[in-house]
Amino acid sequence: MIPLAKISKLTGGILAALSLCAHAAEAPKNVDVKQFSKKVEDVVVPLPNEVFGALNKLGGVNWREYVRNDKGSNFTERPRIALLLGSVIADGFIAVQAEDAPTVKDIGQRVLSLAKGIGVGNSITPHAKAITEAADKRNWKGVRQELDKTQNSVQQAMNEVHDQKLSQLVSLGGWLRGTEVLTTVVTKRYSEEGAELLHQPDLVNYFETRLQAMPEFNLKLIQDIHAALIEVRPLVDVGEAHIPPASVKKINEITTRLGDAITKKTP
């Protein structure tokens, strides 16, 4: 993959001009999405900061309240490390929202140590360094970009060694932490617009299906997450209706419980 940094500003200018003279795309106003049922790629898992960005636009979020300094336990089971890694990367995005440079730097080091724990440390070392440098300069855009690169590099490295399932657990860990914070914010100050950000039934289905296909990860935590997703699905699959405060609170209880279980050693 060619990183963005390698793309020339000159070609950017050419493309900008190109888009001006490009044709407005004409497309059918309606399509039968069912015709694509066999040609649909898996749902794309958004980065935690996509939902944080949307939440931020609703106003009034004191991100410092949600910065987590607990680094989590040291695990030996690779699925647990993968879940924690995703959760810690999500914490990195929260620390960026809070513009908390020391925590961002700690998280960069923690991510590196977790990545080493699952054998993909080499691919992360340059990103951990870049996170520290960008945090020192308070270059928050740069930190966000490096966190995205970190997650992408970890997952690519896992995919290369056919550890796609661990890669999916990284995404799941990030999604759970993001949902925990989203529901905490919306529970504190409910709005229909804030609750609507939880309308993610396809993502819940996606993770549920993926967990079903991981019988080899015979861990109580994985089973608990699977059961929790089944519980969450009807709460977010509401069609055109609003997600009520009680549902937001329930999802918050579930994701907070899972978040604790991901970070702490349980008997």
Partner 1 sequence: MTSFLKPAWRAALIALVLAVAPSGLGSVDDAQAFALQAADPYIKEGFQVREDYWGGDLAAGEKKAVRQQLFKGNEYWFWLGSEVETAKVSVHIYDSEGKLAEQPDSWQKGHFAAAHIIPKSTGSYFVIVEVESSPEERTHWALVYGFR
Residue 76 in contact with partner 1, rule: CB under 8 A: no
- Three-state secondary structure string covering 138-154: CCHHHHHHHHHHHHHHH
Q: Near partner 1 by CB under 8 A, which window of 75-83, 131-139, 149-157, 213-221?
A: 149-157
Q: Near partner 1 by CB under 8 A, which window of 62-70, 77-85, 92-100, 151-159?
A: 151-159
Q: Near partner 1 by CB under 8 A, which window of 47-55, 114-122, 217-225, 259-267?
A: 47-55
For the segment 199-218, give every residue that binds partner 1 (CB under 8 A): 199-203
Nearer of residues 7 and 219 to partner 1, judged by Cβ: 7
Cα(102)–Cα(175) distance, rounded to whole angstroms? 24
Residue with tokens 């939440």: 55
For the segment 97-126, give every residue that binds partner 1 (CB under 8 A): none
**215 burial via Cβ count (<10 Å: 0-12, 13-18, 19+):** exposed
Nearer of residues 211 and 261 to partner 1, judged by Cβ: 211
Residue 144 in contact with partner 1, rule: CB under 8 A: yes
Cα(140)–Cα(135) distance, rounded to whole angstroms? 7
Residue 44 contacts by C-beta under 8 Å, 6 or more apart in sequence?
none
Question: Would you call 262 helix, strand, or coil by DSSP?
Answer: helix
Nearer of residues 169 and 203 to partner 1, judged by Cβ: 203
Residue 149 in contact with partner 1, rule: CB under 8 A: yes
The dihedral of CA 242, 246, 252, 254: what is its sign?
Answer: negative
Residue 1 in contact with partner 1, rule: CB under 8 A: yes
Residue 11 in contact with partner 1, rule: CB under 8 A: yes
Nearer of residues 80 and 149 to partner 1, judged by Cβ: 149
Dmax (CA) of the chain: 63
**239 burial via Cβ count (<10 Å: 0-12, 13-18, 19+):** exposed
Among 25, 162, 241, 267, binds partner 1 (CB under 8 A): 25
Q: Near partner 1 by CB under 8 A, which window of 108-116, 195-203, 218-226, 254-262?
A: 195-203
Cα(195)–Cα(242) distance, rounded to whole angstroms? 7
First-to-last C-alpha distance (Å) of the chain:
42
Among 21, 70, 76, 267, binds partner 1 (CB under 8 A): 21
- Over its C-alpha atoms, the chain yields an Rg (Å, rounded) of 19
Residue 82 in contact with partner 1, rule: CB under 8 A: no
Residues that bind partner 1 (CB under 8 A): 1-2, 4-13, 15-16, 18-19, 21-25, 27-33, 36, 39-47, 49-51, 53-55, 57-58, 141, 144-145, 148-149, 151-152, 155, 193, 196-203
